[in-house]
Amino acid sequence: MKAKSIKGKSTEEIKSALYESMADGFKPTLAIVFISIKQDRKAVAELLYQKKIDIFGATSCGEFINGHQTEGEIAILLLNLSRELYAILFEEIGNRTIQEAATQLSQSALQKFKNPSLIICSTGITTKGEYFDGESLVESIEKNIGPDKIFFGGMAGDDGTFTGSYIFSHEKETDFGIVAIVLDGDKISLQGMAITGWKPIGISRIVTKSTGNLIYTIDDKPAVEMYFKYLGKEEKRNDNDFNLIDDLGFSYPFIVEREPGGETFLRTPRGIDEKENALIVDLETVQGTKLWFSMPPDFDIVEEIIDEATQLKNASQQDADALLIFSCAGRQPVLGPLVTAENEGLHEVWATPMAGFFTYGEIGRAKKGKQEFHSGACCWVALKEKTPRPPKGGTLN
Map residue 163 onto helix, strand or coil. coil
pLDDT of 396: 46
Average pLDDT, the chain: 92
Dmax (CA) of the chain: 77
Above 80 in pLDDT, residue 361?
A: yes
Position 352 scores a pLDDT of 96
Answer yes or no: is pLDDT of 391 > 50: no
Flag whether pLDDT at 17 surpasses 90. yes
Q: Characterise 258 by phi-psi region: left (phi > 0), alpha (psi -120 to 50), beta (else).
A: alpha
Burial 70-96 (b: 16+ CB within 10 A, else e): ebebbbbbbbbbeeebbbbbbbbbeee
Among residues 278, 259, 356, 249, the alpha carbon closest in space to that of 35 is found at: 356
- Tell me the mean pLDDT in the region 288-302: 87
| pLDDT tens profile 71-92 | 999 999 999 999 999 999 999 9
> At 191, is the secondary structure helix, strand, or coil?
strand
pLDDT exceeds 50 at position 296: yes
pLDDT, mean of residues 95-109:
97
Between CA 143 and CA 135 the distance in angstroms is 12
Q: Average pLDDT for residues 231-255, to the nearest whole number?
A: 82
Give the span between the Cα atoms of 52 and 339, in whole angstroms.
Answer: 34
pLDDT score at 299: 79
Residue 394 pLDDT > 50, yes or no? Answer: no
What is the tens place of the pLDDT at every residue in 28-47? Answer: 999 999 999 999 999 999 99
Which of the two residues, 230 and 119, has the higher pLDDT score? 119
Dist. CA 102–CA 109, nearest whole Å: 10
Full-model pTM:
0.91
- Selected residue with higher pLDDT from 142 and 247: 142
Cα separation of 297 and 291, whole Å? 17
pLDDT for residue 233 is more than 90? no
Which pLDDT belongs to residue 230?
87
First to last CA, the chain: 18
In this structure, how many other beta carbons lie within 10 angstroms of the beta carbon of residue 129? 9
Give residue 388's pLDDT band: very low, low, confident or very high (50, 70, 90).
low
**Per-residue model confidence as pLDDT tens digits over 177-227:** 999 999 999 999 999 999 888 888 889 999 999 999 999 999 999 999 999
Domains in the chain: boundaries: 2-195+299-385, 199-295
Q: Give the Å distances, CA to CA, from 184 to 52, 87, 109, 382.
A: 21, 9, 9, 15
Picking from 64-78, 150-164, 252-266, which range would have the lowest pLDDT averaged per residue?
Answer: 252-266
How high is the pLDDT of residue 363? 95
CB 133 within 8 A of CB 125: no
